[in-house]
Amino acid sequence: MSRSVRALRLKLSRHAGFQTYAGSRQYRSTFAPITVLEALEAISERNPELNAFASHITPAEANASESSEGPLMDWPIAVKANIATARSSVTSCASRALYAYTSPFQATVVDSLERAGAAVVGKTNMDEFGMGSKNKFSIYGSALNPHTPALVAKQDGMTELDRHTPGGSSGGSAAAVAAGMCRAALGSDTGGSVRLPAAWCGVVGFKPTFGRISRHGLVAYGSSLDTVGIMARDVADVQSVFDIVAVPDPLDMTCMTSSLRARIKALASSRPWITQAHGPNRSESAPLAEIRVGIPEEYWVNELSEPALESWRAGASRLAALGCEVVSVSLPHTPSALPAYYALAWAEASSNLARYDGIRYGRRSDIRPDTRNLQNASQKYANTRGEGFGAEVQRRILLGTYVMSSAASEHYFTPSQKIRRLIQEEFDNVFALPNALSATQPLALSASRPLGVDVLLFPTATGAAPRLSDQEDSRVANYVNDVMTVPASLAGIPAISIPAGHADGMPLGLQLAAQYGDDDLLLCVARHL
């Protein structure tokens, strides 16, 4: 069935009051749905200004494409440029090294979405290979935050650098959702790249538990941290996409098996102290009455702005009003998370990006050195990699290689691994639910409520989106943007950013995090908040 016929049928079925589809839970979005054709109209109107898409399909292509009927029928979805899509679009990772690369296979997540009826409307702008927080390290140039009105930009004589960043690295995906150019978007989150841009663009950004969504077809940055994440205007739409893509995948050996998923489900539903939040007898006035929320003391960092603090307080009060018990908790190793993250992510990146040598993958330099001696032959690799990678990626490859060298690993790599383990243990200590990965915990929990919290609440970033020109010279200040997001990445636990107020007209985000595997409870609390 062609897309326009399907769109019509969908419109009719909405009139007839059909809200659910056989075989799938439906979460009702508070927003009017965006159809594929509406998204493509918005793209042609807004993308020239926002630069959110690296490539997109045309209405004619959308009409000609066949797709299945399913729970995501006629959902326009944007996909980050580091997730492989097979048909007619490049998987460039916003890098010169892969600028014309088309993948011979498609990511499992994209297959799942298409099978459910969704249409991929385009590939989104990003920081090269996912490395950055402002979407400015990109061969396509920066994407812009839709919350800076273009007219104001002209009247004030602002240059493009004075516009606000959408955040990164999945900046194009967040901008696309915020500007109505898609209904949901896929991004990747290694240390915060879904949550940070979601917060800065005023949309929802969800990083599930590590291993929950297949990464087959996601181009690797830091393999022990990389996750596929979901963005949408509200939690209901995020959940609808999550239900489709959070399935086992034999093509990804790091994707949770069915038996681990079953174990997690059994554990989460055996919590005697939480019955209401999921159950039919939920109280209208206090729907989260059995949930205990932790406020981690160590997240009160110096860099936290007054509006972010205010939004955090308001979020805690709101959860209390929904019936939650709000308590203070301590995660003492939080201050070490950022340096540990960067040491580990760079080390993994230096090894993952070794494959872009112009032979196995990537464009090859045209400069022809005299290859009669060996030194000149290796010059070919140096030219290829020097031309293919941008300055930030080169810096990280060099530092990551150094971090793993025999001279430096005991000072950087090994301590960072230890810090990571301590951070994981600290999270296990504050959550009431045991970690499903620890072998010793009993499957049947005691009837009384244990000490410990069900979710944690803290800001997604220290403030609202900076202008592209801010912090221009300070790399460290740029890395500090990730201070609130990397601990959950190191621990592999689920975390979600939801819109929570504004500072000078720019959106702020609040983050909720939960125990490993407790994604459903996290989404439930986020939906209420």
The least CB distance from residue 193 to ligand GLN, in Å, is 3
Of the candidates 519, 526, 518, 512, the residue with the CA atom closest to the CA atom of residue 457: 512
The least CB distance from residue 179 to ligand GLN, in Å, is 21
The SS3 assignment for 184 reads strand
C-alpha–C-alpha distance, residues 168 and 129, integer Å = 11
Asked if residue 522 binds ligand GLN (CB under 6 A), the reply is: no
C-alpha–C-alpha distance, residues 435 and 449, integer Å = 16
Asked if residue 243 binds ligand GLN (CB under 6 A), the reply is: no
Which of these ranges, 88-96, 130-138, 234-242, 409-417, lies near ligand GLN under the rule CB under 6 A?
130-138
Which of these ranges, 9-17, 188-196, 410-418, 455-463, lies near ligand GLN under the rule CB under 6 A?
188-196
The least CB distance from residue 130 to ligand GLN, in Å, is 3
List the interface residues with ligand GLN, window 313-352 (CB under 6 A): 345
Out of 71, 76, 130, 362, point to the residue binding ligand GLN (CB under 6 A). 130
Token pair for 483: 């201070």
Environment class of residue 438 by beta-carbon count within 10 Å: exposed (0-12), middle (13-18) or buried (19+)? exposed
Walk across the sheet containing 76-80 and list its strands.
Answer: 53-56, 119-124, 76-80, 184-189, 227-232, 204-207, 495-503, 506-514, 455-459, 292-296, 325-329
Asked if residue 208 binds ligand GLN (CB under 6 A), the reply is: no
Of the candidates 176, 71, 175, the residue with the CA atom closest to the CA atom of residue 122: 176
CB-nearer residue toward ligand GLN: 132 or 463: 132
Environment class of residue 23 by beta-carbon count within 10 Å: exposed (0-12), middle (13-18) or buried (19+)? exposed
DSSP H/E element including 205: strand 204-207
The least CB distance from residue 94 to ligand GLN, in Å, is 12
CB-nearer residue toward ligand GLN: 71 or 191: 191
List the interface residues with ligand GLN, window 418-437 (CB under 6 A): none
CB-nearer residue toward ligand GLN: 192 or 323: 192
Task: Give me the residue whose beta carbon is nearest to ligand GLN.
Answer: 193
Q: Which of 170, 173, 193, 214 is catalytic?
A: 193
The least CB distance from residue 190 to ligand GLN, in Å, is 4
Out of 75, 101, 140, 221, point to the residue binding ligand GLN (CB under 6 A). 221
The SS3 assignment for 382 reads helix
Q: Which of 169, 188, 240, 311 is catalytic?
A: 169
DSSP H/E element including 235: helix 235-245
Environment class of residue 55 by beta-carbon count within 10 Å: exposed (0-12), middle (13-18) or buried (19+)? middle
List the interface residues with ligand GLN, window 452-491 (CB under 6 A): 482
Residue labelled with tokens 């055996």: 270
CB-nearer residue toward ligand GLN: 384 or 478: 478
CB-nearer residue toward ligand GLN: 40 or 213: 213
Q: For residue 344, give the amino acid letter.
A: L
Residue labelled with tokens 């990083």: 207
Which of these ranges, 53-61, 144-152, 190-198, 280-288, lies near ligand GLN under the rule CB under 6 A?
190-198
Size, binding site for ligand GLN by CB under 6 A: 14
Active site residue 169: yes
Active site residue 193: yes
Q: Which of 29, 67, 80, 92 is catalytic?
A: 80
Of the candidates 80, 324, 91, 323, the residue with the CA atom closest to the CA atom of residue 205: 80
Asked if residue 190 binds ligand GLN (CB under 6 A), the reply is: yes
C-alpha–C-alpha distance, residues 210 and 215, integer Å = 10
Asked if residue 133 binds ligand GLN (CB under 6 A), the reply is: yes
Asked if residue 189 binds ligand GLN (CB under 6 A), the reply is: yes
C-alpha–C-alpha distance, residues 519 and 212, integer Å = 9
Active site residue 29: no
Asked if residue 169 binds ligand GLN (CB under 6 A), the reply is: yes
CB-nearer residue toward ligand GLN: 131 or 245: 131
Calculate ∠ Cα 318-528-461, nearest 5°: 65
CB-nearer residue toward ligand GLN: 473 or 504: 473
CB-nearer residue toward ligand GLN: 242 or 342: 342
Token pair for 15: 């009139």
Q: Which residues lie closer than 8 Å to 145 by C-beta, 6 or more apart?
A: 163, 164, 165, 166, 167, 175, 178, 200, 201, 465, 506
List the interface residues with ligand GLN, window 377-406 (CB under 6 A): none
For the annotated catalytic residues, the residue numbers are: 80, 169, 193
Residues near ligand GLN (CB under 6 A) are 130-133, 169, 188-193, 221, 345, 482
